[in-house]
A and B are shown apart, each in its own frame.
Chain A
């Protein structure tokens, strides 16, 4: 009986405690700096698309929310013809970012993506592309890769040795 009255009193005292609720739209909660939120496609320092349409992100994605189709430009650069992410499926695991060899696909700390129409959760390439380099500055895949494109022959990349002629006997 006494313990019942005691618990009533202690619960009553909770009235004067601090509230734990965060009044969300007015008050923002603390977000960790590495928060994984919305996915973006970044550009290299020259303003070209970083994505080379290698499909690694689509393969890594555990919920298959990434769809893309590769295409090749006249200068030899590969790019995605379309790049589509269905955010109503995305679980924000960040595996696509880990899989990306060119730092193209990145997760940013934006999570406020609510929509009234589910179809609006499907983002196309023009919604995903941003005009910046994201988290990794100064990296340009084609300057390092040994791939031949217009204006850069084999062996002209940074840290890249000249190609060896396997048919020559000279050392």
Chain B
């Protein structure tokens, strides 16, 4: 009985913490972007402007939730829920601290890859159901981008799997007790970072919503809380990729003095800030360059990484 209760507490704790963090990221992102652009950002509402999140929420709830008459209504409504669902599902396998994990799957990484691939349906269906040529272009770009980047996203993680000898994320974290995998698997880390960036379609890779050419891409017809759901999905996606980088390459909860959860959180926040810095600093590449970069450079590198790691591990054994 107490074990069940503990499980329920963990599930709701992670869910609540995650949604709070995703909402807080609105403020964090705006403040950090402003910081890197010599501005202040929102600093009026509440201490350091943190209640801007509440103001934004109230505003977005009272916005008109409009479905365009030319849209495919059912798909149009379902699309934003898919991204929310998949990113939250993926979070189920992330171990926050020893034993604090919703679902201790023995194929954790595969589950993560599978569910994040399903998340793409959200953007593609949103682009399709909007019945608008720019949205469709955005959705199409998303599918092509994901198609090419998912391939080596999975491959870049195989080096870690070979070294840890397990697909289970808790086992992988435990295998990093003495040395973080970022040192032997630096190439894998860089490739996974880039693929993760493309996966969460954040700024250098935000082809599907490129404002300058596609207006807002797949979500240009969305308004109100449906639009908000895309953004919550995007922010949870950012935390998810950061959490995965931390678990797979930076030793998860391991760290001296501070409790495990705090270490996990600090490392995750570092990567979230890095994502925002990337957004502040880098321009958007051209679409065909993005795809050829993925297929011609990153995929061979990921394959090479597996080959070398596998050979070395075999030689040592």
Which of A19-27, A47-55, A113-121 sits within the interface? A19-27
A10 to B277 Cα, complex, angstroms: 11
A31 close to chain B: CB less than 8 A:
no
Contact status B277-A11, CB under 8 Å: yes
Task: Indicate if B35 sits at the interface (CB-CB under 8 A).
Answer: yes
Tell me, yes or no, whether A29 is within 8 Å of chain B by CB.
no
Expressed in whole angstroms, the Cα–Cα distance for A18 and B36 within the complex equals 11
Bound Cα distance A18, B39 (Å): 9
Minimum CB distance partner of A18 in chain B: B38
Pair A19/B39 contact, Cβ less than 8 Å: yes
Cβ of B43 to closest chain A Cβ, rounded Å: 8
Name the residue on A nearest B41 (C-beta).
Answer: A21
Kindly identify, within residues 1 to 27 of chain A, every residue whose CB is under 8 Å from any CB belonging to chain B.
4, 7-8, 10-12, 14-15, 17-21, 23
In the complex the two chains form, is A15's CB within 8 Å of B35's CB? yes
Question: Is B281 at the interface (CB under 8 A from chain A)?
Answer: yes
**Bound Cα distance A10, B39 (Å):** 16
Q: A11-B277, A12-B277 are in contact. Are A4 and B38 (CB under 8 A)?
A: no
Given contacts A14-B35, A15-B35, are A21 and B281 in contact (CB under 8 A)? no
A9 to chain B: closest residue by CB: B281
Q: Tell me if B40 counts as interface (CB < 8 A to partner A).
A: yes
Give the chain A neighbours of B282 by CB distance below 8 A: 4, 7-8
> Among the listed A4, A8, A11, A20, which residue makes an inter-chain contact with B39, where contact means beta carbons less than 8 Å apart?
A20
The secondary structure that dominates the B interface is loop
Question: In angstroms, how far is the closest chain A Cβ from the Cβ of B286?
Answer: 15
B37 touches A (CB below 8 Å): yes
Judge whether B175 is part of the interface by a CB distance below 8 angstroms. no
Q: Is the CB of B38 within 8 A of A17?
A: yes
B37 contact set on A, CB distance < 8 A: 14
Instruction: Count CB-based A-B contacts (< 8 Å).
Output: 32
Report if B97 contacts A (CB, 8 A). no
Q: How far apart sit A14 and B281, CA to CA, in the bound complex (Å)?
A: 11
Q: Does B67 contact A (CB under 8 A)?
A: no
**Residues of B within 8 A of A (CB-CB), count:** 11
**B278 at interface, CB cutoff 8 A:** yes
Out of A11, A17, A18, name the residue touching B281 (CB < 8 Å): A11
A14 with B38: CB separation less than 8 A? yes
Q: Per-position contact with B for A72-108: 1 when CB-CB < 8 Å, else 0? A: 0000000000000000000000000000000000000
Chain A residues near B281: list those with CB within 8 A: 7-8, 10-12
Give, as a whole number of angstroms, the nearest-CB distance from A36 to chain B: 28
Smallest CB separation, B109 vs chain A (Å) = 27
A19 to B37, CA, bound (A): 9
Nearest opposing residue in chain A for B281, CB measure: A11
How many Å from the CB of B52 to the closest CB on chain A? 15
A130 to chain B, nearest CB (A): 34
Are B36 and A21 interface neighbours, CB within 8 A? no
CA distance A11 to B38 in the complex (A): 10
Contact with A along B260-292 (1 / 0, CB 8 A): 000000000000000001101110000000000
Cβ distance A45 to chain B, nearest Cβ, rounded Å: 46
Beta-carbon contact of B40 and A11 below 8 Å = no
When distances are taken between beta carbons in the complex, the residues of chain A under 8 Å from B278 are 8
Bound together, the chains give a CA A11 to CA B37 distance in angstroms of: 8
CA distance A19 to B31 in the complex (A): 13
CA distance A10 to B281 in the complex (A): 8
Instruction: Give CA–CA (A23, B282) in the complex, Å.
Output: 28
Chain B: CB-nearest residue to A6: B281
Give the most central of B36, B278, B280, B282: most A CB within 10 Å. B36
Residues of A within 8 A of B35 (CB): 14-15
Query: Which residues on A sit within 8 Å (CB–CB) of B280?
Result: 11
Shortest CB–CB separation between residue A15 and chain B, in angstroms? 5
**Inside 8 A of B38's CB, which chain A residues have their CB?**
14, 17-21
What would 4 more interface pairs be, CB under 8 Å, given A11-B280, A12-B281? A11-B281, A14-B38, A15-B36, A17-B38
List 10 A–B pairs whose Cβ atoms lie within 8 Å, in order of A's numbering. Answer: A8-B278, A11-B277, A12-B277, A12-B281, A14-B38, A19-B39, A19-B40, A20-B39, A21-B40, A23-B40
Q: Which residues of A contact B (CB under 8 A)?
A: 4, 7-8, 10-12, 14-15, 17-21, 23
